[in-house]
Amino acid sequence: MNAQMKIFFDSLSDGVAIVNKEGIVQYVNTPGVVVFSAKIGVAFPDPRILKGVRDLIAGFGKAPLNIPLPMQAGNPVGCMAKLMPLPIADQYAVVTQLLTEKQFYEMTLKNFYEFIRIDLSKPIHQFAQQLGLLADEKLPSEVQRLVESGNTISERLQRIEMLAELFGTSPLVDQERLLFESMITEALNAERRQLESRGLEVYLEGLDAELPPVYGSRTWLTRALRELINNAARHATQKSRLEISLRCTGTHVILSLRNHGQFASKHLLKKKLFVPFNLVEDYIKDRKFSTSKVPGMAAKGPGLGLPICHQILHLHGGRMSIIEGDGDEIIEFNLELATGAPVQDTQTLDAEQAQRYAHDMVALMQRMQAAKAAQAADKK
Amino acid sequence: MKTKRILIVEDQADIRKLIRMTLDFGDYELHEADNGDSGYNLALTVAPHIILLDVMMPGSMDGLQVCEKLKKNPDYARTKIIMLTARGQQSDIDTGLKVGANSYMIKPFSPLELMDTIDKYFAEIEATGALV
């Protein structure tokens, strides 16, 4: 191996080793020496890897093989090895991932969420309440500016809290079987106060039991629906209609949400979908738009906004778009999700299923042999 | 001898193969489909006595919807349906039984248990004289 390639492999945090078909180590990078205790010119020290190489040569199993390596005594590091053939004849690569690194980041994130949810939640809400008490007060201009800054901070802290609540309690991608009927009902109930305060009438169309299910995270997708409804309600003209319709194209369910309202610009709204949620207000201000100047529009709420709705759908293989409504005062959102479960990886049979199959096949064969023997005995 | 027809509806090719290899131990006429829509249509065509139906499948109909639609059809109300689910979640099982499934098996399933369940169902079908 040339010097540059050696530097490259040594700079990786994962252990990498190359072995030949006899399992003799041809190369090992610096992290690999620590993780595997492997030495060049000597057989790879773990018998599981040697067996894996023999299995691949014999055509058992499909590469890459995932081989969990045991923890060494007194060492809390666990690791998963991937074994795969290299394009160079009779050479195999062993790559490991240290589980502790993943665990470290998971723990750090968990601690962060818990800090926000437990330690920050109460002061965030107290702060918002205190600012609310000052809303109708006649205040000196410098105090007014301070209150406005406080409102901005409070709103963003509430968004962070909502995100922490979502991230900390629910996996982003899941495979729950979801029916639109229950998700829409849940989202409408959650946004009931907003809808009532705006005096909006909600019309539902196409919400029947024949709609195919979608698979994903109930928490996250319901949240996306909530954000969409919340946004539509806030931007709708008071006492107008909010129309939600569903239709199935065979492969997708499309939810259309139409609100009658006034918004600065459809063009801007389309762009807003792709702006990270915490930048939206700045984005609007930069372009001299202010939602508060739109007549009949509700004040800004602490929702997570359309960008996160867009991201949630994207993670679930769906998409969100805005289409031109009838006239300038109708905005129509289309939310599209694939029907049915995500396509499974069919390349490799689950190891536990394969083991169970092998075990049961023996029993089935024995049962057949016993049946044949009984038949033969009956004939005699 | 009357033909015992079984339909396997499963999107994972390896699992379908595994079920077929297991059922080859018996004397059955086997049919296969890799999604809910084609499984439903095939069921209407071949009129199987037993259907092995995966819950989670891509497409416009998953296993639970196929089961519900078939069980609502009087011609198929007596067809035995065994749901195959990758998740042992009680909600999946409850929904499966609610839409008319006769039983369910959680993956990774036992081929031995599958054979026993199928034998039991064919014994019931034969006893009612429904094996045609």
Chain A, nearest residue to B116 by Cα:
A364
- Partner-chain contact B56 A177, CB within 8 Å: yes
DSSP A262-283: --S-HHHHHHHTTS-GGGHHHH
Question: Sorting pLDDT into bands at 50, 70 and 90, what band is B34?
Answer: very high
Q: What are phi and psi of A26, to 5 degrees?
A: -95, -30
Q: Which two tokens stand for residue A229?
A: 């409804």
Nearest one of A313, A309, A203 to A259, comparing CA atoms: A203
Is the CB of A371 inside 8 Å of chain B's CB atoms?
A: no
pLDDT in tens, A20-42: 999 999 999 888 887 778 889 99
pLDDT value of residue B103: 92
In this structure, of A204-213, B17-26, B63-72, the range with the lowest mean pLDDT score is A204-213
Percent of chain B residues topping a pLDDT of 90: 58
pLDDT value of residue A81: 86
The minimal CB distance from A356 to the residues B13, B92, B108 is found for B108
State the sign of the Cα–Cα–Cα–Cα dihedral B76, B78, B79, B83: positive
Contact A333, A320 (CB under 8 A): yes
Chain B hits for A353, Cβ within 8 Å? 15, 18, 107-109
State the sign of the Cα–Cα–Cα–Cα dihedral A103, A109, A112, A118: negative
Alpha-carbon distance of A49 to A82, in angstroms, equals 9
Distance from CA of B76 to the nearest CA of A (A): 19
- What letter represents residue A29's amino acid? N
Alpha-carbon distance of A86 to A80, in angstroms, equals 19
Q: Is the pLDDT reported for residue B36 higher than 60?
A: yes
Nearest one of A340, A150, A158, A349 to A250, comparing CA atoms: A340
Beta strand B50-54 pairing with B80-85 = parallel
The minimal CB distance from B59 to the residues A339, A353, A368 is found for A339
A220 burial class (0-12, 13-18, 19+ CB within 10 angstroms)?
Answer: buried
Mutation site, B56, B95, B105, B117, interface A, largest A CB count within 10 A: B56
Chain B, nearest residue to A215 by Cα:
B56
Contact A81, A67 (CB under 8 A): yes
Cβ-proximal residues to B62 (8 Å cutoff; 6+ apart), any chain: A177, A212, A213, A340, A341, B36, B55, B56
Is the CB of A358 inside 8 Å of chain B's CB atoms?
A: no
Q: Is the pLDDT reported for residue B112 higher than 50?
A: yes
- Partner-chain contact A364 B108, CB within 8 Å: no
Chain A, nearest residue to B114 by Cα:
A360
Alpha-carbon distance of B15 to B34, in angstroms, equals 11
Mutation site, B10, B11, B12, B20, interface A, largest A CB count within 10 A: B12
Q: Strand order in A319-324's β-sheet?
A: A201-205, A241-248, A252-260, A330-338, A319-324
Give the end-to-end CA distance of chain A in Å, rounded to a whole number: 73
- Partner-chain contact A212 B61, CB within 8 Å: yes
Q: Which two tokens stand for residue B46?
A: 């071949």
pLDDT value of residue A106: 72
Helices within chain B (DSSP H only): 13-23, 36-46, 63-72, 90-98, 111-127
pLDDT value of residue A77: 54
CB crowding A135-163: b at 16 or more within 10 Å, else e = eeeeeeeeeeeebeeebeebbebbbebbb
Dmax over CA atoms of chain A, in Å, equals 111
Cα dist from B101 to A305, B10, B79, B82, B93, whole Å = 41, 16, 9, 6, 9
Cβ-proximal residues to B75 (8 Å cutoff; 6+ apart), any chain: B47
The minimal CB distance from B107 to the residues A212, A339, A353 is found for A353
DSSP A279-346: GHHHHHHHTT--GGGSTTPPPP-----HHHHHHHHHHTT-EEEEEE-SSTTEEEEEEEEE-BPPPP--
Task: Centre a 10 Å sphere on the Cβ of residue A4 and count the other Cβ atoms it contains.
Answer: 8
Chain B, nearest residue to A369 by Cα:
B25
What is the pTM (predicted TM-score) of this model? 0.63
Q: What is the mean pLDDT of chain B?
A: 89
Chain B hits for A358, Cβ within 8 Å? none
Q: Which residues pair with A93 in a beta bridge?
A: A18, A84
- What letter represents residue B109's amino acid? F
> Tell me, what's the ipTM?
0.76
**Which stretches in chain A have pLDDT values below 70?**
70-78, 98-104, 209, 261-304, 324-331, 342-351
Q: Which residues pair with A332 in a beta bridge?
A: A258, A323
